[in-house]
Amino acid sequence: MPPLIAFAGALGALAVVRWAYRTALRVNRELEEARLARVAEAAAEPTDIPTLRRDPTTGAYRPG
């Protein structure tokens, strides 16, 4: 009986490791897709980012 319990435990541990590995791959793939979408979105419209210009009277940098 104990070898059967050890075998069942090993199979259970293998299933948990396989599930964790697949979950990690899925999460990393989703994160990479989100990162690439964000980079592509930022690169597509560079005119939306305001440029800082120096105010001649105060010397402070302001958008515009």
**Cross-strand pairs, 52:** 63
Question: Dihedral sign, CA of 23, 25, 28, 29?
Answer: negative
State pLDDT tens for residues 1-53.
Answer: 689 999 999 999 999 999 999 999 999 999 999 999 888 776 666 666 778 89
Helices (H) and strands (E) in the chain, counts: 1, 2
The confidence score (pLDDT) of residue 49 equals 72
pLDDT for the residue numbered 33: 94
Report pLDDT for 15.
Answer: 98
64 Cβ neighbours under 8 A, 6+ residues apart: 50, 51, 53
Residue 62 tokens read as 């302001």
